[in-house]
Amino acid sequence: MEGKKLITPFHASPHDRRIRFARVLCAALLVGFLALLSGCDRPSDHVFRGTTMGTVYTVRTVNPPASALSGLDQAIFDRLEQINASMSVYRPESEISRFNALSAGDSMVVSEDFEHVLRVSTQVYAQTGGAFDPTVKPLLDIWGFGPGAANRETWRPPSEEAVRHALSSVGLNLIDASTPGRLGKLHPGVQLDLGAVAKGFAVDALAELLEGRGIRDYLVDIGGDVRVSGRNSEGEPWRIGVNQPERGQAWGEVLLVLRPGRTAVLTSGDYRQFFEHDGQFFSHVLDPRTGRPLDNNVAGVTVLAQTAVLADALATGLMVLGVEKGLELVEFLPGVEALFLARGDESAVAEVRSSGFDRLGTKIPF
């Protein structure tokens, strides 16, 4: 059984559509690789696929109760549509777009989904000392990574003045979340972008949907953000591949395979979205504290946590913190493990793992 519901929430220029197609292709290749590692479709597998959030999703279930399958494809579609209607900055009528359009001093009612994602974002903002910040949208816009971005082949870095001006609108202290169910704007320029956590939240939402129907063995993948439970159709733990951080490559060499058990696995990297100017690479991962793309040689961070929304936010925050401070934080957080990939001389990549990561990762030759 396979559902083929499509979600196309974005309104974009032809250039944006080309960028999005490349991202979808990357994600589609990754999904194919995950399927390869986890076993081909078997009679016990029920797989649902489609597109959402500018990428592809795969929901794979094993031996689900027959009653659980009734209307499941539509339920998956509806849940993803609900999340897009809340958190997509590409939709002018979404909750986040309506908040971004508020004037200073105004507030609005927000949904439980939105409030939950903002609460997790605030938690990780505090844990990382502002290295992860959901108010980063003004910086994303001036660096060419926001909605309606210009052609990155001709993009140039913004001026220092533009960076300083955008930074004046960045910071969670510029919004008021003190009243449950409401969100207020304290600064006219503050703008939210939940792109670093929305996919993770959607993964969790689909996992909860499956568990609510009595499904215990599953894999949920949205653009490479993954959460697994139970075992695959071969009765083995799910296997998740982590790629080498190769800039511009849709599917790089496989670095290792994870067997994470019941958990979420998410990766943030500098090698999927970037532009090059005068021989220098500028990643879409920005440091909200400096207003500039990362220059700490961290190529990617893979995080394992109990929820995908937490892992998603942490993956970005840990990249910004860097290896030393990031690893220190991970060792402090219960139930969290991480793999840091750091660029060295001559494009060599060093692996740095948290203390509990080794039991989950298996090096494989490819």
101 located within any domain? yes
137 located within any domain? yes
SS (H, E, C) 218-269: EEEEECCEEEEECECCCCCECCEEEECCCCCCCCCCEEEEECCCCEEEEEEE
Question: Which residue has 């793999």 as its token pair?
Answer: 339
Identify the pLDDT of residue 35: 41
- Higher per-residue confidence, 269 vs 334: 334
pLDDT band at 226 (very low <50, low <70, confident <90, very high): very high
Rounded mean pLDDT of the chain?
83
CA pair distance 214, 83, nearest whole angstrom: 22
What is the torsion angle, in degrees rounded to the nearest 10, for the CA atoms of residue 76, residue 81, residue 116 and residue 341? 80
- Kindly state the average pLDDT of the residues 167-181: 96
Determine the distance from the C-alpha atom of residue 3 to the mean position of all C-alpha atoms in its chain, rounded to a whole number. 23
User: What total of structural domains would you count in the chain?
Assistant: 1
Q: Percent of the chain having pLDDT more than 90?
A: 62
**CATH number, domain with residue 162:** 1.10.3980.10
116 located within any domain? yes
* pTM score, whole prediction: 0.85
Question: Which residue has 């998740």 as its token pair?
Answer: 240
**360: pLDDT strictly greater than 90:** no
- Kindly state the average pLDDT of the residues 182-205: 96
CA pair distance 267, 316, nearest whole angstrom: 8
Identify the pLDDT of residue 42: 57
Nearest to 270 by CA among 287, 258, 253: 287
Question: Which residue has 């969790």 as its token pair?
Answer: 204
- Kindly state the average pLDDT of the residues 297-323: 94
pLDDT in tens, 249-293: 545 577 788 998 899 999 887 656 555 545 556 567 889 999 988
287 located within any domain? no
- Kindly state the average pLDDT of the residues 66-77: 96
285 located within any domain? no
pLDDT in tens, 120-172: 999 999 999 999 999 999 998 888 777 765 555 667 788 899 999 999 999 99
231 located within any domain? no
Which amino acid belongs to residue 252?
G
pLDDT in tens, 247-260: 555 455 777 889 98
Q: SS3 of 62, please?
A: strand
Query: Which domain, by its residues, includes 158?
Result: 91-185
326 located within any domain? no
193 close to 140: Cβ distance less than 8 angstroms = yes
122 located within any domain? yes
323 close to 351: Cβ distance less than 8 angstroms = no
221 close to 235: Cβ distance less than 8 angstroms = no
pLDDT band at 73 (very low <50, low <70, confident <90, very high): very high
Helices 112-127 and 72-87, axial angle in degrees (round to 10): 60
- Kindly state the average pLDDT of the residues 339-356: 85
CA pair distance 309, 320, nearest whole angstrom: 17
**What residues contact residue 45 under an 8 Å CB cut-off, 6+ apart?**
60, 61, 62, 233
